[in-house]
Amino acid sequence: MPTAPLPQAPKRVGWLAGLRERLLLQEDLNFLLTNRVPRIALTRFMGWFSQIRHPWVCRASIAVWRLFTDLDLSDAKHAEFASLHDCFTRELKPGARRIDPDPQVFCSPSDGIVGAFGTVQAGSVLQAKGMPYRVADLFGSAERAQRFEGGSYLTLRLTSSMYHRFHAPCAGRVRHVSYISGDTWNVNPIALKRVRELFCRNERACIDFDGPQGQRFALVPVAAILVASIRLHFLNVRLHLRWPGPNEMPCDHAVAKGEELGWFEHGSTIIVFAPPGATLAPGVQHGQTVRMGQALMRLPESRP
């Protein structure tokens, strides 16, 4: 009687193991090149370089940028830029983004890729699977963090080629801004899986505001390597690593839904916090690319 052929599983396992090793090697190389470098020094250099106003420098820089990203300037308000900084912080053509008009919809404050999201539980949220951090550490205030216990959060990652300005996700009033200086770790998925409490280590601004029915919301723009500069129009200052303070800035500024709040100097992350009862808008899921003005969450109905 013929002998049954040996199973081929070991070859399959070996192939998968080799693929896994190659992927890990690529992750190690990515993490090394974007984190095991003088991050703050490189970030300050990029801040200086991007401000050089020379047509040849600008065009060459954008050409190199296109080699590594899917940079699309077709919806930009201007076709020519005086500096790399002007391209990073470009405005959009009128009508390039649609703002969801439903007053119960909390729209996306920026273009971005949906990352971790869920419910604030015991004062903690996730930056990636198995990587929690405390909201109080992110805000720099246990009192302000407590307001979002049981509420919803969602992380938006902006890549370098995306539109970098961010807007009011609903009508309301900005009440307070906390600026927290820090490091400039990369915020890509590889770093989020390896650096614990990364968002709590990086430079960031915590923006508290009231919604149209008095609900409390927060946006936390987090800087990263080559970024580390946040502009908020209603403060008329540029927050950066050399900002001397003040770090706690009370505000009382009315904003309309979709109104521009400020910009990043490059790509980074915005973490959105909404009150208890807010739910994800239909179709929003991990890894999805959303655009500014698109429905992100649905707010709880107002009570009489």
Over pLDDT 90: what percentage of the chain?
41
Active-site annotation holder among 61, 110, 160, 268: 268
Q: Is the pLDDT of residue 31 over 70?
A: no
Backbone dihedral angles phi then psi of residue 161, each to the nearest 5 degrees: -85, -5
- What token pair was written down for 143? 């009192």
Looking at residue 287, its pLDDT comes to 92
Question: Does the annotation count 178 as an active-site position?
Answer: no
- Per-residue model confidence as pLDDT tens digits over 176-230: 999 888 777 778 888 888 889 999 988 888 999 998 878 899 999 998 766 557 7
Whether this prediction's pTM lies above 0.85 is answered by no
Looking at residue 23, its pLDDT comes to 45
Question: Does the annotation count 111 as an active-site position?
Answer: yes
The rounded distance, in Å, linking the Cα atoms of 265 and 291 is 18
Write the Ramachandran bin of 133: left for phi over 0, alpha for psi from -120 to 50, otherwise beta: beta
Q: Which residues of 41-80 are buried (b: 16+ CB within 10 A; e: fewer)?
A: eebbebbeebeeeeeeebeebeeeeeeeeeeeeeebeeee
Active-site annotation holder among 100, 111, 183, 208: 111
- Per-residue model confidence as pLDDT tens digits over 125-180: 999 888 999 999 999 999 999 999 999 999 999 988 889 899 999 999 999 999 88
CATH topology of domain 105-298: Glucose Permease (Domain IIA) (2.70.70)
Give the chain as a 3 state SS string.
CCCCCCCCHHHHHHHHHHHHHHHHHHHHHHHHHHHCCCHHHHHHHHHHHCCCCCHHHHHHHHHHHHHHCCCCCCCECCCCCCCHHHHHCCCECCCCCCCCCCCCEEECCCCEEEEEEEECECCEEEEECCEEEEHHHHHCCHHHHHCCCCCEEEEEECCCCCCCEEECCCCEEEEEEEEECCECCCCCHHHHHHCCCHHHHECEEEEEEECCCCCEEEEEEECCCCCCEEEECCCCEEEECCCCCCCEEEEEEEECCCCEEEEECCCCEEEEEECCCCEECCCCCCCCEECCCCEEEECCCCCC
Question: Does the annotation count 54 as an active-site position?
Answer: no
- Per-residue model confidence as pLDDT tens digits over 73-87: 999 999 888 988 788
Active-site annotation holder among 85, 164, 167, 266: 167
What is the domain partition of the chain in residue ranges? 105-298
Q: Which residues are registered as beta bridge partners of 114? A: 156
Looking at residue 113, its pLDDT comes to 93
